[in-house]
Structures are given as structure tokens and as C-alpha cells.
């Protein structure tokens, strides 16, 4: 006999966890146990965890031959459509709507009244609005016009992300011409995700596997080591750039002391942009938020941070160079300021472009982004500083 207490983690084990962490915990359980635990959670939290389950299940898949079986994991919302229990015309009155509810055999299933004109969805009426309306008011006067609705063919993952931003208990589903074809309940969305990702072991098509804490040593080595070799090659590129300005460093020794300062600040700026981009990819936020808008934001933030930090670093360089007896201490401070401004602006761009490019190429952006980001920021920051010093001071 199986002990139920050991078959699934207690609710407390996933309470308070981030959705991605809770999804990883749940993905190792059978579907019925996952559904039981999700049913105990608040509706919004359950949807958030369900939205991460596909990625968690993908990360824990170890059978390379299972990828083909997962080809149809991208389920569509059409599979969940149920007949809408309450459909009335916009010309009908509140009194007629109440009479409809009284005589409806499925009144317990009615959350909204869907209002249609020529079979096209034009609004929804909630029970509260119906109760407060005057008997003679037409539904067109009390309905919420142009309500949110899923279109036929919408993917389950996209539907879950949309539900996270709205929290409606029921969603209408329409066809390409706006005709109402049925409804979907919110709880069905995360339940369907659970069934799909736990019933098919393997990776989603086009989504690479990712290392987890439970990944075996050899598996982790195979995932990590190739990127370390890439990092070695990119580090040689950064060293080559610095080597081109060896004479400059020899003549202006103070520059050597500020190379790690510049690299550290630009690298941190890039890591901040990288973290936001990875978070957007993980939560699906970039599906609705334009990449160009994120890029513009990170460019402005990088420039602003680079200017403020550059002023402090420039003053520090001026003081250091003055105490070291450098003849052009003031100009060295200006060089650091300009280099810091350019490096931080560029690192903001790299923090957005690198993970998106790796994702498009099928690589794991969380594993590989930092390698390329560090190289690009080092080359840009140190190369810019040494180039400016060579051009202005020598």
C-alpha cells in the first residue's frame, strides 16, 4: 500500500515558492496528484504555477527519444470549449434575463450572460449588474461592451498567460468573424496544462533542455563544458583587444588600474538588463511587450547609469592620476567618463540582444548568455577606454 503522505509533498512545501520553483516541485508527481495540489491553491496562484509547468516538465525530461511524442504538446483552447449556458440578444431586457435564469436547468453553471447580435459576441453581463439593473433596461445598456475573448486556435500556454493578467472565472471563445462558439472556465486552463506536460515526457519542439539541480554529473558536464570552451575563446578575443594597446598602457600606467573598474561596472549593467530579459522570456512577458521598447529602455538606463557612475569614476581617475604624477590627469578623467558612458550603454544593448539571439538559435539563454555578455562588455569597455586614451593623449 502506498502512503499518501509520501506520494505527494504537502501543500506547505510549495506555499510561498516562486511559480517556477513550485512547478519544478510538482512536475515530478503524477497528474492526479498535481491536480489535487493545484485545486488546493488560490485560483491566481494555480494559474501562475501551471504556466510554468511546461518548462519544468521539459527540464526534467531525460529520454531523448521522447521528443517526437511531445510534438503535439502545444494544445489548443478549442479542446476545452464548452457550450455557453447563457446567451441572450442585446435587445432583451433585464427582466427577460432574470426570467431566463429562473427557468434555466443549468443556472448553477452560469457566471456571465453572453450578449450577442447576429451570433457575434458584443458584450457580457455579470450577475451583480443584472441584479442592480432596472427591469426594463436592455442588456445593451448594462453589458460590458467588447469583452476580452479567446479566439479559436489560441494555444493553451498563451491562454494561461492571458488569464494571469485578467483572473476571470469564465472566458468566451469566438471564431475569426467574432461569432461566439462557446466558453472556457479558468480552472480548465491549468488542468489541461497539467495533463499535457505530465502525460508526455520529453522536450517541447524547439525548446532546448535545461540543467536542473537533479541533473546527473555527466549530464551537467556535457551541458556546461562546451560553453566554457566558448568562454575561453571569447576571453582570448578580449585579451587580444587589450594587447593591441599595450604601448598605451605602458605609457599611461594609471589606465591599468581602471581596466577592472570599467569592466566590472559595464558587466553589472549588462547583467541587470540580462536578468530583466530572461525574466520576460520565462514569464512570457515579451510576447506582448515589444522588444524594441525594452531595448530603448535599457539603452536609456545604461546611458544614465553610465553617466552617473562615469562622473564618480572620472573624479577617482583624476585624483589617482594626479597623485601618480600623470601630466594629463584631467583628460584621463574625461576618458574614463566617456568610456563608462559608452560601455554601460552598450552593455544594456547586449543584455537584451544576447539572450534573445540565443533563444532564437535554440540555445539555452540562461546557460550561455553571461559568457557572451561578459566578452562583449569587456571588449567594448576596455577597447573604448584604451582607444580614447591613445587617440587623445598620445
- Sheet bearing 87-89, strands edge to edge: 87-89, 112-117, 120-126, 144-145
Q: For the ranges 107-116, 207-216, 255-264, 304-313, which has the lowest average pLDDT?
A: 207-216
pLDDT, residue 66, reads 34
Q: Check: CB of residue 37 under 8 Å from CB of residue 8.
A: yes
Check whether 243 has a pLDDT greater than 70. yes
Least confident of 4-8, 28-32, 172-176, 264-268: 4-8
Domains of the chain, earliest start first: 217-393 (1.10.357.20)
How high is the pLDDT of residue 92?
92
The confidence score (pLDDT) of residue 252 equals: 82
Task: Determine contact, residues 224/302, Cβ cutoff 8 Å.
Answer: no
Burial class (CB in 10 A: 0-12, 13-18, 19+), 321: buried
Q: 312 pLDDT exceeds 80?
A: yes
Give the least confident one: 69-78, 114-123, 172-181, 266-275.
69-78
**pLDDT on residue 7:** 43
Determine the number of helices (DSSP H) and then strands (DSSP E) in the chain. 15, 7
- Torsion angle in degrees (nearest 10) through CA of 308, 313, 315, 321: -160
| Cα 285 → chain centroid | 5
**Phi, psi (degrees; rounded to nearest 5) at 262:** -65, -45
d(CA 157, CA 164): 11
Q: Write the DSSP symbol of residue 200.
A: S
Amino acid at each position: 500500500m502506498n502512503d499518501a503522505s509520501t506520494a505527494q509533498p504537502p501543500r506547505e512545501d510549495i506555499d510561498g515558492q516562486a511559480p517556477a520553483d513550485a512547478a519544478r516541485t510538482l512536475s515530478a508527481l503524477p497528474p492526479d496528484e498535481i491536480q489535487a495540489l493545484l485545486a488546493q491553491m488560490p485560483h491566481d496562484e494555480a494559474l501562475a504555477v501551471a504556466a510554468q509547468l511546461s518548462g519544468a516538465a521539459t527540464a526534467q525530461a531525460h529520454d531523448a527519444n521522447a521528443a517526437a511524442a511531445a510534438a503535439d504538446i502545444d494544445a489548443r483552447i478549442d479542446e476545452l470549449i464548452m457550450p455557453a449556458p447563457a446567451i441572450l440578444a442585446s435587445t432583451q431586457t433585464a427582466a427577460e434575463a432574470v426570467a431566463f435564469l429562473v427557468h434555466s436547468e443549468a443556472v448553477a453553471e452560469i457566471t456571465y450572460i453572453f450578449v450577442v447580435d447576429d451570433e457575434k459576441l458584443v458584450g457580457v453581463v455579470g450577475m451583480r449588474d443584472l441584479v442592480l439593473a432596472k427591469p426594463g433596461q436592455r442588456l445593451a445598456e448594462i453589458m460590458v461592451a467588447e469583452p476580452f475573448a479567446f479566439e479559436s486556435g489560441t494555444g493553451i500556454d498563451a491562454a494561461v498567460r492571458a488569464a494571469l493578467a485578467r483572473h476571470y472565472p469564465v472566458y468566451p471563445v469566438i471564431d475569426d468573424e467574432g461569432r461566439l462558439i462557446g466558453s472556457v472556465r479558468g480552472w480548465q486552463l491549468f488542468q489541461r496544462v497539467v495533463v499535457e506536460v505530465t502525460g508526455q515526457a520529453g522536450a517541447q519542439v524547439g525548446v532546448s533542455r535545461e540543467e536542473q539541480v537533479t541533473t546527473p554529473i555527466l549530464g551537467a558536464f556535457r551541458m556546461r563544458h562546451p560553453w566554457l570552451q566558448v568562454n575561453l575563446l571569447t576571453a582570448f578575443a578580449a585579451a587580444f583587444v587589450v594587447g593591441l594597446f599595450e604601448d598605451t598602457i605602458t605609457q599611461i600606467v594609471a589606465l591599468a588600474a581602471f581596466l577592472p573598474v570599467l569592466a566590472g561596472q559595464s558587466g553589472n549593467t549588462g547583467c541587470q538588463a540580462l536578468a530583466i530579459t530572461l525574466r520576460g522570456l520565462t514569464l512570457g512577458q515579451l510576447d506582448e511587450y515589444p522588444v524594441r521598447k525594452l531595448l530603448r529602455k535599457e539603452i536609456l538606463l545604461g546611458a544614465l547609469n553610465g553617466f552617473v557612475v562615469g562622473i564618480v569614476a572620472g573624479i577617482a581617475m583624476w585624483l589617482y592620476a594626479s597623485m601618480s604624477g600623470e601630466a594629463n590627469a584631467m583628460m584621463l578623467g574625461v576618458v574614463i567618463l566617456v568610456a563608462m558612458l559608452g560601455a554601460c550603454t552598450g552593455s544594456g544593448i547586449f543584455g537584451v540582444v544576447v539572450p534573445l539571439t540565443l533563444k532564437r538559435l535554440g540555445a539555452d539563454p540562461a546557460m550561455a548568455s553571461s559568457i557572451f555578455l561578459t566578452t562583449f562588455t569587456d571588449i567594448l569597455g576596455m577597447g573604448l577606454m584604451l582607444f580614447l586614451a591613445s587617440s587623445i593623449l598620445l
